[in-house]
Amino acid sequence: MVEIPESHPRRTSLLSREKIVNATKEGLLADSAMIAHGRGEAFDYLLGEKTNDSARLAIKESAARLLSSKHPIISVNGNTAVLAGKSLIRVAAVLNCPIEINIYYRTVKRINNLYLLLENEKMLLAQEQPPTNWVGDWNSTVMAVEILGKENDGRIEGLEGPRSICSAKGIEKADVILVPLEDGDRCEALISLGKQVLVVDLNPMSRTAKMATVTIVDEISRVAKLLLEDVVDGDCRPTKWNNDENLIQALKIIAKNATP
């Protein structure tokens, strides 16, 4: 492992790469996880590697919808668990909702490995201080977060094969789903089941980004931290969200940054 100096301008990006590389060796990620990550990095570069105003609004809108939902759920795949699993467990604890491991390249081995990773992070998090301004018994609240995904007892109607598998008390039952790095078909199927689908995708032109109820065009580890602030704050209500306008804003930022 190469030591990355604190002052390195690309330190955050290099640390994320290192996490992805190590997690690949540990059998947590899909074979194509690095390709997906690289595509994300390219878009992040064009977006200025920061949370833009339109993304910030989309995060707040997502927090509002998760907070006002009856059955919220946070779905995580391999890349999300590795890059932002810990922060998303914090969000789930504050929302009092489960996390579901739901992966595109589904193998029992990967599900089990991701389950162990998240359960271990949960135990470490329970020992930490609660998020700023959150009041309550943090240890028991974190330990109460259920990690779903091993059950195989639910189905996403409209999809065939392993991609339709989910947890009956997780994604199947949920009315609002946060699904970072989702694929277009699943996003479409979840929407057609009447669920609100909140996605995180650095590519504002992906089918997922276009299909979702709310698209956060930003990097998942940055998003998870800001989403935590918003759900703790709780001062947000769902609006008449115009997702096309939100995507147009992201494209304008890319166009501006790409102009010499």
Answer whether 221's CB lies under 8 Å from 44's CB.
no
Cα–Cα distance between 134 and 89 in angstroms, integer? Answer: 14
**Token pair listed for 226:** 């800001």
Q: Where are the alpha helices (DSSP H) in 33-99?
A: 33-46, 53-67, 78-95
Cα–Cα distance between 69 and 117 in angstroms, integer? Answer: 27
What's the Cα-to-Cα distance from 150 to each of 99, 106, 128, 229, rounded to whole Å?
A: 11, 11, 27, 29
Q: Which is nearer to ligand PTJ, 172 or 182 (CB)?
A: 182
Residue matched to tokens 């795949």: 77
Q: Where are the alpha helices (DSSP H) in the chain?
A: 11-25, 33-46, 53-67, 78-95, 108-126, 138-143, 184-192, 207-211, 220-233, 243-258
Answer whether 185's CB lies under 8 Å from 176's CB.
no
37 touches ligand PTJ by CB under 6 A: yes
79 touches ligand PTJ by CB under 6 A: yes
**In the bound complex, what is the minimum distance in angstroms from residue 202's beta carbon to ligand PTJ?**
4
32 touches ligand PTJ by CB under 6 A: yes
103 touches ligand PTJ by CB under 6 A: yes
* Binding residues among 210-229 for ligand PTJ as defined by CB under 6 A: 219-220
* Binding residues among 175-194 for ligand PTJ as defined by CB under 6 A: 181, 183
Select the residue interacting with ligand PTJ from 30, 67, 111, 177 (CB under 6 A). Answer: 30
Count of residues engaged in binding ligand PTJ, rule: CB under 6 A: 24
**In the bound complex, what is the minimum distance in angstroms from residue 29's beta carbon to ligand PTJ?**
6
52 touches ligand PTJ by CB under 6 A: no
Q: Which stretch binds ligand PTJ (CB under 6 A): 28-36, 59-67, 140-148, 252-260?
A: 28-36
**Site residues (CB under 6 A) for ligand PTJ?**
30, 32-33, 36-37, 39-40, 43, 77-79, 83, 103-105, 181, 183, 200-203, 206, 219-220
